[in-house]
Amino acid sequence: MNIIEESPKRLIVREWPWIVLIIGGLCTVTGFIPLLFLGHHELLCQRSSVEEASAEEGECQIIKSSLLGTQIHRMPLAAIEEARLNRNARSDTADTYQMELVTHEGHYGFGLQTSDRHWHESLTQRMNRFLAEPSQTQLRQTQNNLWLGLFFILNGVGLGVAILVIGIKILTIEIDQRLGVLKLSWQGCLGKDVKEYRISMIRGAIVESSYLSRGNIYGNSGFGYRVALVMNSGERVPLRWYYSTGWSNKDHLARKIRHFLGLPEESVEI
């Protein structure tokens, strides 16, 4: 809460929607995180010559390149027992698949697991033929999943930008004792909303609370709060459409309004 102007007859207070800024910013930043891990995968297996191939000389490399760097795992052809199709059964979505190279030291998967069984199955068959036919000198396969990163960007960043554009509304409370008017204005990216009320219509300013069953931005359950004006008719006019954590700053704003309007502290039960 920022006090823009305060005099015996006039009070202007401005409040920024920090909770919306935080959530929108987190969504926007989170949308870019997958780009750090997604990238280009390459499988390169080669024999230098047919004569050396007959002695099972050569190697396979699994190369993963992303913004975090390049990882290369090398293994001799002689150490590879077979290529195997690994199926990851899932109950909530479609099953995913991945080709694995089986060695006496362990299993090494290539690329990302995807639901395209035909692609992974075809690669597994090609790899096994390469292992069984020494006349083949090279096998190369790539998998580029940057498109998946673009999908995350469009969803995460799009959601974050939408929250920021739609949700950011700077609240300004202007109370003029000479005119007998309390004006509320919400300035956002899409325009400005203004409401005016006669001071004589207002009998209280309170802090409303609501249990946040899904928790706050940190994942903790608890209560959310917002400030509301109470009219003589009993109607409540919330200054924000949403509840957010942080009771003390809302209570400070409600007290400020009550004090300036000369309203009793316990005019309405919270």
- Residue 25's beta-bridge partner residues? none
pLDDT at 210: 87
Indicate the pTM of the whole model: 0.58
Q: Mean pLDDT, to the nearest integer, of 86-90? A: 86
Q: Where are the beta strands (DSSP E) in the chain?
A: 2-6, 10-15, 40-46, 59-66, 69-76, 80-88, 96-103, 106-114, 138-144, 169-176, 181-188, 191-198, 202-212, 222-231, 236-238
pLDDT at 50: 53
pLDDT at 228: 95
pLDDT at 32: 74
Q: How confident is the model at residue 215 (pLDDT cuts 50, 70, 90)?
A: very low
Phi, psi of 19 (to 5 degrees): -65, -40
Average pLDDT for the chain:
85
Distance of CA 163 to the CA centre of its chain: 11
CA separation for the pair 81, 256 (Å, rounded): 76
Q: Mean pLDDT, to the nearest integer, of 216-221? A: 45
Residue type, 50: V
pLDDT at 221: 52
Q: How far, in Å, are 197, 209, 212, 226 from residue 221 at the CA level?
A: 35, 13, 6, 17
pLDDT at 223: 82
The DSSP letter of residue 136 is -
CA contacts within 13 A on the Cβ side of 191: 2
Q: Mean pLDDT, to the nearest integer, of 256-265? A: 91
Q: Mean pLDDT, to the nearest integer, of 180-199? A: 93
pLDDT at 189: 85
- The answer on pLDDT for 39 being more than 90 is no
DSSP assignment of 20-73 equals: HHHHHHHHHHHHHGGGGT--EEEEEEE-S-HHHHHTT--EEEEEEEETTEEEEE
Q: Mean pLDDT, to the nearest integer, of 219-246? A: 86
CA separation for the pair 198, 178 (Å, rounded): 11
Tens of pLDDT along 100-156? 999 988 999 998 888 899 999 999 999 999 999 888 899 999 988 766 666 767 777
The DSSP letter of residue 200 is G
- The answer on pLDDT for 55 being more than 80 is no
